[in-house]
Chains A and B, each alone.
Chain A
Amino acid sequence: METIISFVGEQFGLEGVLALSIAYAVCIGSLLGFITVYAMFAIWMERKVAAHIQVRYGPMETGAWHGWAQSVADAVKLLFKEDLIPRSANKVMFLAAPAVVFCGVFAGFIAIPFAAGVQIVDLDLGVFFIIGIAAIEVIGVIMAGWASNSKYSLFGAVREAAQVVSYEIPTAVALLVPILVVGSFRLGDFNAFQEEHGWLIFHNVWMPIAALCYFISSLAGCKRAPFDLPEAESELVSGFHTEYSGMRFSFFFLEEYASMFVAALLVSTLFFGGWTLPFLDVTSWPYGLAQGVGMAVLLVKTFFFIFVQMWLRWTLPRMRVDQVMGLGYKYLVPWGFAALVGTAVFEYYGWRFVPGVF
Chain B
Amino acid sequence: MLLDFHVVLVFLITGTLMVCTPLLLGALFRPKNRYPEKDMAYECGMDPEGEAQVRFDMRFYTTALIFIVFEAEIVLMFPWARVYASHPLKGLALVAGLIFGTIVFFGLVFDWAKGDLTWVKTFHHKRRVQG
Q: Are A322 and B120 in touch, CB under 8 angstroms? A: yes
Q: Are A180 and B85 in touch, CB under 8 angstroms? A: yes
Chain A, residues 330-358, CB within 8 Å of chain B (1/0): the string is 10011001001100110110000000000
Shortest Cβ gap from B49 to chain A (Å): 9
Q: Are A169 and B85 in touch, CB under 8 angstroms? A: no
Check if A161 is an interface residue, CB within 8 A of chain B.
Answer: yes
Report the interface size for chain B: residues with CB under 8 A from the other chain.
Answer: 73
Chain B, residues 40-84, CB within 8 Å of chain A (1/0): the string is 111110001001111011011001101100110011011001111
Which residues in A have their C-beta under 8 angstroms from that of B31? 82
Which residues in A have their C-beta under 8 angstroms from that of B77? 176, 340
Bound-state Cα–Cα, A176 to B101, Å: 12
Which residues in A have their C-beta under 8 angstroms from that of B90? 348
Bound-state Cα–Cα, A28 to B120, Å: 47
Choose among A103, A179, A341 the residue that contacts B15 (Cβ–Cβ < 8 A).
A103
Q: Are B27 and A151 in touch, CB under 8 angstroms? A: no
Chain A, residues 261-284, CB within 8 Å of chain B (1/0): the string is 000000000000000000000000
Check if A146 is an interface residue, CB within 8 A of chain B.
Answer: yes
Asked if A155 meets B56 with Cβ closer than 8 Å, knowing A172-B74, A180-B85, the reply is yes
Check if B25 is an interface residue, CB within 8 A of chain A.
Answer: yes
Q: Are B82 and A246 in touch, CB under 8 angstroms? A: no
Which residues in B have their C-beta under 8 angstroms from that of A80? 26, 29-30
Chain A binding site: helix, strand, loop or mixed by DSSP? helix
Choose among B8, B14, B18, B22 the residue that contacts A79 (Cβ–Cβ < 8 A).
B22
Specify the chain B residue showing the minimal Cβ separation from A120.
B7
Bound-state Cα–Cα, A128 to B79, Å: 11
Q: Are B11 and A107 in touch, CB under 8 angstroms? A: yes
Which residues in B have their C-beta under 8 angstroms from that of A172? 71, 74-75, 78
Which residues in B have their C-beta under 8 angstroms from that of A109? 11
Q: Are A340 and B101 in touch, CB under 8 angstroms? A: yes
Check if A206 is an interface residue, CB within 8 A of chain B.
Answer: no
Report the interface size for chain A: residues with CB under 8 A from the other chain.
Answer: 78
Check if B110 is an interface residue, CB within 8 A of chain A.
Answer: no
Which residues in B have their C-beta under 8 angstroms from that of A86? 39-41
Check if B38 is an interface residue, CB within 8 A of chain A.
Answer: yes
Shortest Cβ gap from A110 to chain B (Å): 6
Q: Are B60 and A162 in touch, CB under 8 angstroms? A: yes
Shortest Cβ gap from A199 to chain B (Å): 17
Which residues in B have their C-beta under 8 angstroms from that of A6? none
Which residues in A have their C-beta under 8 angstroms from that of B44? 237
Which residues in B have their C-beta under 8 angstroms from that of A155? 56
Specify the chain B residue showing the minimal Cβ separation from A329.
B117
Bound-state Cα–Cα, A242 to B53, Å: 15
Can you give 20 contacting A-B residue pairs, CB < 8 Å? A79-B26, A98-B19, A107-B8, A124-B1, A133-B8, A149-B51, A150-B48, A162-B60, A165-B67, A169-B67, A176-B77, A183-B82, A183-B84, A322-B118, A325-B118, A329-B66, A330-B117, A333-B70, A337-B105, A347-B85
- Partner-B contacts on A (CB < 8 A): 1, 24, 28, 32, 79-89, 98-99, 102-103, 106-107, 109-110, 120-121, 123-124, 128-129, 133, 146, 148-155, 158, 161-162, 165-166, 168-169, 172-173, 176, 179-185, 237, 242-243, 246-248, 251, 321-322, 325-326, 329-330, 333-334, 337, 340-341, 344-345, 347-348
